[in-house]
A and B are shown apart, each in its own frame.
Chain A
Amino acid sequence: MNPWPFVVAAYGIALAGTVGLTLWSWIAMRRAEAEADKLGRRP
């Protein structure tokens, strides 16, 4: 059995999961902190 399709699929799933999780967390953090800063600046 050719192992390469399995290796490629494993790397694809792992990297997509890791990048997706990191981007999602980063975007959520930027949005939440921007919102908090905006409200904090209001008199």
Chain B
Amino acid sequence: MHVYANPARFLKIARPLTPILGWSGAALIAGALYAGLFLAPPERLQGESVRIIYLHVPAAWLGMGGWTAIAIASLMQLVWRHPLASIAARAAAVPGAVFATICLATGSLWGRPTWGTYWEWDGRMTSMLVLLFLYLGYIALAGAEKEKGGEGRLTAIFGLVGAVNLPIIHYSVLWWRTLHQGQSIDFLRGTSTIDASMLWPLLASALGFSLLFGAVVLMRMRTELAGIKVEARLKRMASA
């Protein structure tokens, strides 16, 4: 990991990797959503509204995955002072916030025909809404700290502290048995209660969105690195 903390070495890998991740993610999403909409059967109890799950679940995973990336990068920034760590953390914030919003919106649209309500102050939904507010706070704090020319240490501490919400989201369905259904896929045990005909489009969709998420993070990192390069060049030109 330390090897790739060098911006020049990072760019050498990121430039060819961005379109590979982006296009393969887009193709996988298109195939998975087609399968989810037209090939997968309706669910016994949920009926056709189960098709929303092919978007909702990947969005939820990426909303949480984005903050996991922020927390790891923040730790790397605070402990090892990697030059790319704060850039990576900031780059994951907006995509994470977008997917947390998509998760809440699609969940709400799934809830109306399935539960009879758009919203309930249930443990899972409330903790996911808290995650969205944490993203908004992080984005605002990162912008303010950057504007003041800070190192981003406060933002990194906020990124680490905010990670406390991740286990709360994950275990909320076990701690508070309310409206949201429990865990259907257990990656640690490799088990699932979802039928294979519905599981494969869901996993393909999650993989596709994850690849695209990776491409977007790389794009945003490259944008920030180019901005730093321009700023440094302008400073050099002004002092010459």
Residues 14 to 39 of chain A near chain B (Cβ within 8 Å): 14, 17-18, 21-22, 25-26, 28-29, 32-33, 35-36, 39
- 13 A–B contact pairs at CB < 8 A? A1-B112, A10-B109, A11-B55, A18-B29, A18-B98, A21-B94, A25-B95, A28-B223, A29-B219, A29-B223, A29-B226, A32-B227, A35-B226
Q: A13-B105, A32-B223, A32-B226 are in contact. Are A21 and B98 (CB under 8 A)?
A: yes
Taking the complex as formed, is B151 at the interface, i.e. its CB lies under 8 A from any CB of chain A? no
CB distance from A25 to the nearest CB of B (A): 4
Select the stretch in B44-52, B134-142, B158-166, B188-196 that faces chain A.
B44-52
Q: A10-B105, A17-B98 are in contact. Are A32 and B230 (CB under 8 A)?
A: yes
* Interfacial chain A residues near B94, Cβ < 8 Å: 21
Please name the residue on chain B nearest to A2 by beta carbon. B113
CA distance A21 to B223 in the complex (A): 14
Q: Is the interface of A mostly helix, strand, loop or mixed?
A: helix
Please name the residue on chain B nearest to A25 by beta carbon. B219
Q: A13-B102, A22-B22 are in contact. Are A35 and B230 (CB under 8 A)?
A: yes
Residues 63 to 105 of chain B near chain A (Cβ within 8 Å): 94-95, 98-99, 101-102, 105
CB contact between A7 and one of B29, B52, B95, B212 (< 8 Å): that residue: B52
Taking the complex as formed, is B40 at the interface, i.e. its CB lies under 8 A from any CB of chain A? no
* Interfacial chain B residues near A1, Cβ < 8 Å: 112-113
* Interfacial chain B residues near A10, Cβ < 8 Å: 52, 55-56, 105-106, 109-110
B: number of interface residues (CB 8 Å):
40
Bin the interface of chain A by size.
20 to 34
Taking the complex as formed, is B28 at the interface, i.e. its CB lies under 8 A from any CB of chain A? no
Contact with A along B171-183 (1 / 0, CB 8 A): 0000000000000
Taking the complex as formed, is B33 at the interface, i.e. its CB lies under 8 A from any CB of chain A? yes
A18–B113 CB distance below 8 A: no
A22–B215 CB distance below 8 A: yes
Q: A13-B105, A18-B102, A18-B212 are in contact. Are A40 and B219 (CB under 8 A)?
A: no
A4–B226 CB distance below 8 A: no
- 5 new A-B contacts, CB < 8 A, other than A6-B113, A13-B106, are A10-B110, A21-B94, A21-B216, A33-B222, A39-B229
CA distance A39 to B37 in the complex (A): 48
A25–B47 CB distance below 8 A: no
Taking the complex as formed, is B220 at the interface, i.e. its CB lies under 8 A from any CB of chain A? yes
A17–B109 CB distance below 8 A: no
CB contact between B110 and one of A6, A25, A26, A28 (< 8 Å): that residue: A6
B219–A9 CB distance below 8 A: no
B113–A25 CB distance below 8 A: no
CB distance from A29 to the nearest CB of B (A): 4
